[in-house]
Structure 1
Amino acid sequence: MENEVMFEEIVEYEDYKNWAKKDKINFLNEKFGTNNSILKGTIQLASSEKYFLITNLRNIENDIIINPFNNEILRNTICLCENVDSFLLKRNLKVGDEVIFKFTIPFSQHEDKNKLIIAKSKTVYKVTNIMEILDNIDNNVKEKEIFSAVNLIEFLEQIREKDFGNKINSIINERILLVNKNIDNYLKEIKNKIQTQEERLKELENIVSEKEFEIKELEILRNKYIELGILNEDNVNEKKEEIIKEEYIDIKDKKEQIDYIQKYLALNKGLYYDDHILKRFFLALHTNQIIILSGEPGTGKTSLVRGFSEAISAKHKIISVQPNWTDNQDLLGFYNPIENVYVPTPFLDAIIEAKENQDRLYILCLDEMNLSHVEYYFSEFLSKIQSDKILDLYSKKIYDENLKELNMKWEKYLKYENKESLKEELSNEEFNEFLALKRRYNLLKKYKAQVEIPDNIRFVGTVNKDETTKSLSPKVIDRSFVIEVKEYDENLVSKFSELEKENYQKRLYLKESDFKMESKDILDEIKEELEEIKLIFKKMRVYLNNRFDNQVKQILGNDYIDRDDLLDYIISSMILPKINISINERNEQIIDEISKLLEKTKVSKVIFDEMKEFAETEYILTFWR
């Protein structure tokens, strides 16, 4: 360059590159004639999209103070950015523009990475466009980016005394004052918020302190209740069942679990079930549907619930349905307004027990559930299972009033030390009154106004196919997974007779978490098959709605069942039980169409063939034959 004025002493790069970072920056500031690391240069593109060059480096006031190095590498600086084109467009810059910038040197122990002057991208601005810096400051303040605004103000304060002209410097001074004022207001706002938060924190600390005191008082009262026998200590301290691993067999694979269960039932219980029955029962336990076991009396429906539960170490409760059940009080109990207590049922007690042991799977079986009209006593409960799962036993207001009354009546007994002293000093009549209050109190605490159905319960119903029972309503069937249980095949007996019983005496230990309900989106190829199935059965007045789709998604969440078997089980347990129509010529054509559809299935074909055989004499095509 013609105007290039070199320093009297040229620094060799080989010496410079071994200096410390601080020494390098101080040296560059001295040689460039600046004390704030601010330079001027010209934009030039590089071969990368991640950075561009700034060449012709010089002092922002004096163009003849230039690079002090006798080395081409250090005659330029680079500016790193995400994308060069986007950066230049955003800053309204182009190749050849003169810019001002603040430089630094990235420290690294690798000398090749510790040699370049780096331009800080946030400080690169066109020399003639100082107003853009001010606009960016305003935006930062507006968007509460206080530290970015402060950095830009410091940058402006470092360059405003340079020779940009009185007009520019005057504008810079005005805007800096304005921004400082905005920042002051913002800091005051932050300070007020902090003060408000500190006051709120103090309030919360006081509330916590009050609650801690209340908890201590309640703890004292609870201990007093235990001493007086109002509360049983066994009920207060929940006992967890101790699991001895040696007593159980550990099998992870679900297919192998089903196979083991089949052999366990055969060799230990004398119960022989086709593997498709066990697969469907196991599959249904992963859904929120009611599991209906239908079949002739004596085919082992209730035994399946007992045996299967034992094989997987689940808790089971068998509830015998009575012919005179007419509403949900027969299922859940009722509130007695004379004695002011709730009168429960074994069914409700099982739900409460399950809620207290949520790691354990509970199977509640309504045995011979169609001895009475199912929709009379079960319809309301059925809706709750697949919605909010909250059972309203009685009014919350009644519960609160009872609890308040009992707590007031306890006060006169709190002066006694323990149950023995209370019994000694009270008359028989007074002590009997105390015992009545105790019973009422414990019933109230156990049977609150609302009870939540926990996720670890599965509901099963056994249904006999004979003239003494009632038919199931479409609402019940629509929410059920129906499994037809038949007499076992004698071949199963010989099949398992060769096995060693001692290899199958241990139970599995499957927890509630092993039966989590997981939905899976329906794949396109299965969706096409299901749509075809829906269209065919629609001709039979079987309408498969959104509930059906959601149930299918739960079924598909169990990928241990083969795809063909899954579709077979969906048809046999969720579609065929919905069929109940009179036979006419039009229906006969549809029957042939369904027979063709089911030709390759294992379970559905057998069931549908029996349905057709029944229809030949009774002129009704029904699953419930």
Structure 2
Amino acid sequence: MPDTKEMIITKETVSEFVEAQRTNGTLGNEITLIIEKVINQQSGNSSRYQCRVLKSGELFIEMLNPLTNRPWELNFYFVKDAFTIGDVLVGRYEVQTQKRFLHDLIKPMPGTLKKLKRSNELVDRHGEDFVQFLQKKFDGEESLLGLMYDRWYETTERDISEHQEKISTLNSEINHLNDQVTEKVLQLKGIQAEIQAHEQTRLRIDQQVYDLRSSLGFVEEDWKEEAAIDFHNLKEDGDFIEAMQIGLYHQNGENLVYEYDIVRRFITALRTDQLVLLTGPSGTGKSSLVHQIGEVLHPCKVHHVAVQSNWTDVQDLLGFFNPLKNTYLPTPFLQALVDARNDKKSLHIICLDEMNLAHVEYYFSSLLSAREKQPDKRFLDLYAHKFYKEAKMDLEELLNMPIAEISAEDLKQLDAEKRKEARSKYELIFNFPAHFPIPDNVRFVGTLNMDETVKPLSPKVIDRSFIIELDHPSKLNDVREQLASQSIGGKLELNISEFILPALEEPKLSEEQKSVIDQVLEYSSVLKDIPNAMMNSRGIKHMERYVSSLPAVEGAVDELINSKILPRVMFPKAEKQLENVFDEFVARLPQASNSRAKAEKMKINKRVVQFWR
């Protein structure tokens, strides 16, 4: 060690000294620093960072300045709030050239400094398996995880760059193909619109033929041959649910097996106009339940709509308006809404199969928003209202009569060219108005898959849904034997006005029903520290409508916890405080309840405590 008191420190000697330190291995191409103090400048957007040089070994320890034999302290100026006290940085340096700082020997190059990731950050970002991979790959200690991560990143950076170039090329090709697909989709939607128009014409003709044959005595209404069971006579004592359960098994020889409580929850959720989401492993009969309901109830029609993974906005669900032709190209979903509006005497159930193949809140946003309003104020805005007004005026001019008096028959008096134009405007006004009302007699159901191909449900969707989890039929052999031994003839007659009434009126709760809500809210309050888990005012209104429609409240607390509270719970197991909160919640649930069994299963997940599996 030279005597620094006698040594004259110059730029040249500092350069030589630093080179010597590199040669003997004291310094490498990079240095490791720890921030000890941050001093914000009074003016400007920069800070002075005071730090110490660390020696990178099995543990981070302070390095001594070879000139002073004291802890090696350095300063540098950089962007304000770039780093905080305690951050460990790695980056390049250069020889110090400023006269008053020559004893520092080196100065950091701020633009090259990278903050080392800490162990908990790496676990949160990549998981514990990745951290173990780093330790095994580089045979390192816990304290060096940040350096190992940087080393791993550098070794993969070149591959990443090559992949990004390939991705860029592929994206260009995809964009070109997407343009072609968009063009074909527009052509397809035009063809579909024509097909639907022909189908509507065919249905009208079929109905006219049917009515004519009926009037002449040639047609028998098969469903009336069977013994129809009136919903009015069954709903009071709960026999209607049992009849539904038996009907689901025997109707058309389907032999579908569902627990009594599942059927009751499903029917009650439909009556109160909840967005019902059916979840469970593949093969549990989610879509079949919806389809078979339409076979058992009369009058009831089920519309199945297959959700596509490329759906990104509401046009994928509802279709779109063509301003050049002043026509609307509907989807099967919107056509189902039109059918429900034109058939007020039937219950219409629209089932979105595999609803979470795409982000629900993207394509279903208009419906989610509209359903928050009072039933008589639920509208979908399909296109700008001015096009509707123009079509209305044009049609009145073509037929020379007010719109209120126009019927489809009036179009026949026009010549072929004008009739085609009038038909498009007639469809726009009477089938697809700009301000489209959601019919009271339509209900929405979604089936969910839980695998790597689907999108997670957002808290917004979960909050607005009633979730029912189905179990595999193989676990319901006792129920199967019971259903096989019973039989019910005919369909269940449905009074649609009576069925939808709970969704239209404000719920009136008995003291017993109010107690159910209070108990659920008491359980919910335990989860107040878990984000989005505590029940809000919207959820309370949903529960009040649901409970008010139950013939009896036995078991209602348990099923509301399963359907309205547990699906809201989601947090990483690394958050021990939240895990303790959930443990306290589970401990309060009744020992033999379904909700407790489900909550215990949620705790088994390795990384995230959640309802979805």
TM-score scaled by length of structure 1: 0.55
CA separation of 1:440 and 1:326: change in aligned 2, threshold 3 A: same
Partner of 1:381: 367
Q: Percent identity?
A: 36
> Could you say what secondary structure the match of 1:538 adopts?
coil
CA separation of 1:525 and 1:505: change in aligned 2, threshold 3 A: closer
Aligned residues: 377
Question: Is the Cα contact below 8 Å between 1:369 and 1:463 reproduced in 2?
Answer: yes
Question: Is the Cα contact below 8 Å between 1:287 and 1:555 reproduced in 2?
Answer: yes
Structure 2 Cα separation of the partners of residues 324 and 476 of structure 1: 19
Once the two structures are superposed, residues 474-520 of structure 1 have per-residue CA deviations (whole angstroms, 9 ceiling, x without a partner) of 111000000111211252465236515xx323110123222421513
Partner of 2:588: 597
TM-score scaled by length of structure 2: 0.57
Partner of 2:315: 329
Question: Is the Cα contact below 8 Å between 2:516 and 2:556 reproduced in 1?
Answer: no
1:569 maps to 2:569: no
1:522: how far off?
6.9
> Could you say what secondary structure the match of 1:466 adopts?
coil
Partner of 1:544: 535
**1:252-331 counterparts in 2 under 5 A?**
252-254=233-235, 255-267=238-250, 268-313=253-298, 314-331=300-317
Partner of 1:623: 611
1:470: how far off?
0.5
1:453: how far off?
0.8
The amino acid across from 1:504 in the alignment is I
1:362 to 348, 371, 389: 348
Once the two structures are superposed, residues 106-136 of structure 1 have per-residue CA deviations (whole angstroms, 9 ceiling, x without a partner) of xxxxxxxxxxxxxxxxxxxxxxxxxxxxxxx
Structure 2 Cα separation of the partners of residues 497 and 555 of structure 1: 27
Unmatched tracts of structure 2, length 5 or more: 1-200, 215-220, 402-407
1:395 maps to 2:381: no
Question: Is the Cα contact below 8 Å between 1:540 and 1:587 reproduced in 2?
Answer: yes
> Could you say what secondary structure the match of 1:334 adopts?
strand
Structure 2 Cα separation of the partners of residues 322 and 498 of structure 1: 37
CA separation of 1:384 and 1:494: change in aligned 2, threshold 3 A: closer
1:244 maps to 2:224: yes
> Could you say what secondary structure the match of 1:575 adopts?
helix
Partner of 1:467: 452
Once the two structures are superposed, residues 240-261 of structure 1 have per-residue CA deviations (whole angstroms, 9 ceiling, x without a partner) of 9988385412352332111122
CA separation of 1:378 and 1:601: change in aligned 2, threshold 3 A: farther
1:444: how far off?
3.5
The amino acid across from 1:621 in the alignment is V
**1:511-526 counterparts in 2 under 5 A?**
511-512=495-496, 513-517=498-502, 519-521=507-509, 523=511, 525-526=515-516
1:509 to 489, 493, 498: 493
Partner of 1:163: none
Once the two structures are superposed, residues 19-72 of structure 1 have per-residue CA deviations (whole angstroms, 9 ceiling, x without a partner) of xxxxxxxxxxxxxxxxxxxxxxxxxxxxxxxxxxxxxxxxxxxxxxxxxxxxxx
The amino acid across from 2:306 in the alignment is S
1:472: how far off?
0.8
Structure 2 Cα separation of the partners of residues 527 and 333 of structure 1: 40
The amino acid across from 2:393 in the alignment is K
Structure 2 Cα separation of the partners of residues 532 and 286 of structure 1: 26
CA separation of 1:470 and 1:498: change in aligned 2, threshold 3 A: closer
1:372 maps to 2:358: yes
Structure 2 Cα separation of the partners of residues 558 and 599 of structure 1: 24
CA separation of 1:361 and 1:498: change in aligned 2, threshold 3 A: closer
Question: Is the Cα contact below 8 Å between 1:302 and 1:462 reproduced in 2?
Answer: yes
1:381: how far off?
1.4
CA separation of 1:324 and 1:485: change in aligned 2, threshold 3 A: same
Aligned-CA RMSD value:
3.2
Structure 2 Cα separation of the partners of residues 590 and 260 of structure 1: 42
Unmatched tracts of structure 1, length 5 or more: 1-228, 413-417
1:433: how far off?
5.1
CA separation of 1:302 and 1:398: change in aligned 2, threshold 3 A: same
> Could you say what secondary structure the match of 1:319 adopts?
strand
1:317: how far off?
0.6
Partner of 2:336: 350
Structure 2 Cα separation of the partners of residues 235 and 246 of structure 1: 22
Structure 2 Cα separation of the partners of residues 288 and 260 of structure 1: 21
Partner of 1:609: 600
1:448 to 409, 433, 437: 433
The amino acid across from 1:507 in the alignment is K
> Could you say what secondary structure the match of 2:552 adopts?
coil
The amino acid across from 1:263 in the alignment is I
1:587: how far off?
2.9
Structure 2 Cα separation of the partners of residues 361 and 239 of structure 1: 22
The structure with the larger Rg is: 1
1:546: how far off?
0.9
Question: Is the Cα contact below 8 Å between 2:277 and 2:467 reproduced in 1?
Answer: yes
Question: Is the Cα contact below 8 Å between 2:517 and 2:543 reproduced in 1?
Answer: no
Partner of 2:196: none
1:439: how far off?
4.1
